[in-house]
Structure 1
Amino acid sequence: MPSVGLNEPVRAMGLSNGAINPPPHVVQWYTASPRPGAPGISVIAGHVGAYGGRPGIFSTLPNLSPGDRITIGYAGGGERTFRIYNKEPVGKKALQRDPRVWGQSAKPVIALITCDDDAPSNNGHSVRNYVVWAAPV
């Protein structure tokens, strides 16, 4: 995500204790979602909050705007560019059943998810997530 200075590897991971919860400073592709670039909605997550004196890996995610580009590089070589078409905060409970994240898509879609740093907290956790959607250019 060159527009916000993010160039990090993406780690393939499943659930951790029943939730998508990547380690600090890790960008996670949720392996129960389609591979980024394949038909369907690929879920990619990272933390927004600081950890160990460093900003969260997705701390700049809210600075992305529709039209900005995301490039995914693949381990075997090659890359694919996506363009952001929507971004918005979504309540955590609503996100669990949001068809824009968990529904079907005949075309590739990437849903980048982090906590909404501007939302109120409940027991130390944000009550909302922040989601950015992108589709191939």
Structure 2
Amino acid sequence: MTLRACGLIIFRRFNAGLASKLQEIEFLLLQTSYGRHHWTPPKGHVDPGEDDLKTAFRETEEEAGLKSKDFSVLDGYKKEIIYEVNNKPKTVIYWLAELKDYNAEIKLSDEHQAFCWLNVDEACKLAQYQEMQEALTEAHQFISTNK
């Protein structure tokens, strides 16, 4: 049986300077309070009868305290990652979502012990897993080319 989870790669933008039209993009990563304390976007297992996107919204609210009104899901980006957990394949599907309010409060669940906002290079270093690094890099590329 394949394990299945869904989540959102949440990002926010801010201007790099008053005179600059450049915008910096930061990604939200959460540090787990269990296992190897790895860093990941909010995600979780699909409940029976629940569709994938609904799972992503529910898990984002449960793990980071962000409700669907706090972000906008970008059309055209959906990333599927497959890796092994305890010798079983696991599929994780991510959508890309932009935070509407730069200063929105993050409220962690007991599943996580810390969070941070990082640019793509810092996020990739912290994420550690190649599949997650590729997803973050692709998300950054998608945001940059679809302004």
Same topology, TM > 0.5: no
Higher RCO structure, 1 or 2 (CA under 8 Å, sep 6+): 2
The normalised TM-score by structure 2 is: 0.27
Larger radius of gyration: 2
